[in-house]
Structure formats: C-alpha cells, structure tokens
Amino acid sequence: MNLITDRGHDFGEVASALQKAIRRGDGRLAGYWAVELLESGFGNYLWKRLLTVSAEDCWGILTQEVWSLFEAHQLVAKGRKGKTRIFVAKAVLLLCAAKKSRDADHLTNLVYDAKAIPEAELLADLDAARAEVEPIPDYALDVHTYRGRKRGRTKADFFREEFAALKPREPGLFDKNLTNP
C-alpha cells in the first residue's frame, strides 16, 4: 500500500526528508515536512518519528522535552483541530537546534548487529582501544593537583582558565568577575 500525503508526496519519502532535515539542522524544511505529515492525518506517526529522532540523532536528554510537547499537543488537541501545530513546530525546532550524535543508533547497530562489523574486527578494535593510555592533559594540572602546584598554578589561574574552557557556555551570574585570558 502506497501512502500519499495531502500535497501528493510519498509518505515514506516525507518521513525520510523530515529526519534528514532535522539531522542537518534545517528547521524550515523539517517544519514543512512535519506539518505535511500532521495535516495529512499522520500525526501519531509524526510524534513517534520525532521521539525516535530525539533518541537516534540528538545528543543529550532531549527526548523528555519532545515527550512533554507531545503530551501538551494531546491536551490542547481535545476539541481544537489545527491548534496543536505549535507543539510540533517547537519539537522540530528543538531537534534541529540540538547537538547531534548518532551514538545511541551506532550502539544498537554496530554492537548488536552481527553483520555490521565482523566480530574479529570488532574485538580487535576493542582490544586496541583498551590498550590506549591517555596522558594526563596539561589543563588538568592545576592548583588542585600536586604537579600543578609545583608548576606554580594558582586559584586565579584555575578560575580564568576553566571559565574560558566552558563550551558551550551559558551566561552566569559571576561572569563579569572573571576576565578571559
């Protein structure tokens, strides 16, 4: 059975275009495809897809925010056709703006899909990763460590350097008290 949206698009292609646009952070296009699914009667599928995208393609704990928007959509939808697009739009824009990471999807496919990576290759890669010994980075040798204190590192150095290293950084109450190096 070939499902078609109201504007004549193939359902599967719209779903794919939605997810690919989110991955690329294209809010305008992702929003277009999301509303196309919603207005074509595929709202339940759309929300399932957005929740899946939040887990499959986005870094962090965004899935709970998308779930909350879905619940808000359901509450507002009772008797108000067409008034819930705002929740879909918000979810899509959050997903587009989110940092992207495919780690969860890679974990499920690369680790548990026997055909994705031959077992011998996977085991060799794991052994190589376990054999790697990372050196202590210089920035860790601050006033809180013996070697850092021996190098003359101070608490003032710590505050300035660690403040400058925050990525991404949210504005804080005491930013004006710190000067960037």
CATH number of 11-97: 1.20.272.10
Residues 7-58: tens digit of each pLDDT: 999 999 999 999 999 999 999 999 999 999 999 999 999 999 999 999 999 9
**Can you give the residue ranges of every domain in the chain?**
11-97, 102-133, 138-177
Amino acid identity at 178: L
pTM: 0.66
Alpha helices, DSSP H, located in 9-142: 11-23, 27-39, 43-56, 62-77, 85-97, 103-106, 119-131
